[in-house]
Amino acid sequence: MAKDAGKVSKNAKVVKDAAQSAASKAFVRVIVSERSDKTGAYVFKEKMIHKDKVKEFLATSGQ
């Protein structure tokens, strides 16, 4: 039996709103490691930032 041309794999992603999907891909997760003043251990801070503002964020977070 041949596959039906109209069927879509259940594993295929279905995009409901192409504009929203494209906009969400413009954001990246930035993870910055810092030393804790209290314990001296490393603390990791995560933030979702627009990809155009990553350099700005990293410049200010290093202070």
- Does residue 12 sit within a domain? no
Beta-bridge partners for 8: none
pLDDT at 42 over 90: yes
- Does residue 28 sit within a domain? yes
Backbone angles phi, psi at 55, to 5 degrees: -60, -40
pLDDT at 2 over 60: no
Beta-bridge partners for 32: 45
- Does residue 1 sit within a domain? no
| pLDDT band at residue 53 under the 50/70/90 scheme | very high
Return mean pLDDT, the chain. 82
Dist. CA 26–CA 21, nearest whole Å = 9
Boundaries of domain holding 34: 19-61
pTM score, whole prediction: 0.56
Task: Please state, for a pLDDT cut of 90, what percent of the chain lies above it.
Answer: 48
| pLDDT band at residue 15 under the 50/70/90 scheme | low
Could you list the beta-strand ranges (E) of 1-63.
27-35, 42-50
- Does residue 51 sit within a domain? yes
